[in-house]
Amino acid sequence: MANMIYHLSLQTAGIIAGAFLILISLPGLVKPDLIGVAQRFPRSHVAGVLLLTICLAWTFWLLATIQMGEFAGFRRPLLIALPIGYVLALRFVEEFLAVRALGILCLLAAEPLLDAAFLRYEPSRLLVTVFAYLLIVAGLFWVAIPYVLRNQINWSTRSVFRWRFLHGIAFIYGCVILAFALTRY
């Protein structure tokens, strides 16, 4: 079996993914006046600093603990460069810092989900895997083209029905993942 970094079971990953989807979709589903909060998020400096700090800590931990094989000689320079890059990003990346940091966080979060589903044969594992790949695609777009999230938020907030419908889909998907995690994995 491949070296696993996180050692999460598919059940744990499913519980985390399902609970996460439920928790982020429930407020938007029952309280549509959060539309204004969502619209301010892409340019929120506080959210950007908070999310980028979480990404820094997660990436620093990964660099410090993973087996790097023949690239082990790069560990120390990367551990030095990472905080420098963090400070430079805070200093010079003012536009859509929150979106870019969220994209990085999505990319980091996808790996444990894929790792947990690796070499599992039940078809329901695809619920977690599809969510992981959605995180990857979104993360890549949000890091490279951050105004895409602003446009996605603007599109989804054009009507309360659309806002609630999208949150309802995320809520149902989270409930399905959580149900499979608790009963099948």
What per-residue confidence (pLDDT) applies to 127? Answer: 96
What per-residue confidence (pLDDT) applies to 16? Answer: 96
What per-residue confidence (pLDDT) applies to 1? Answer: 43
Tell me the mean pLDDT in the region 50-70: 94
Q: What is the tens place of the pLDDT at every residue in 142-184? A: 999 999 999 999 999 999 999 999 999 999 999 999 999 999 8
Under the banding of pLDDT at 50, 70 and 90, the label for residue 7 is: confident
Q: What is the tens place of the pLDDT at every residue in 37-54? A: 999 999 999 999 999 999
What per-residue confidence (pLDDT) applies to 72? Answer: 87
Please give, one letter per residue, the 3-state secondary structure of the chain.
CCCCCCCCCHHHHHHHHHHHHHHHHHHHHHCHHHHHHHHHHHHCHHHHHHHHHHHHHHHHHHHHHCCCHHHHHHHHHHHHHHHHHHHHHHHHCCCCHHHHHHHHHHHHHHHHHHHHHCCCCCCCHHHHHHHHHHHHHHHHHHHHCCHHHHHHHHHHCCCHHHHHHHHHHHHHHHHHHHHHHHHCC
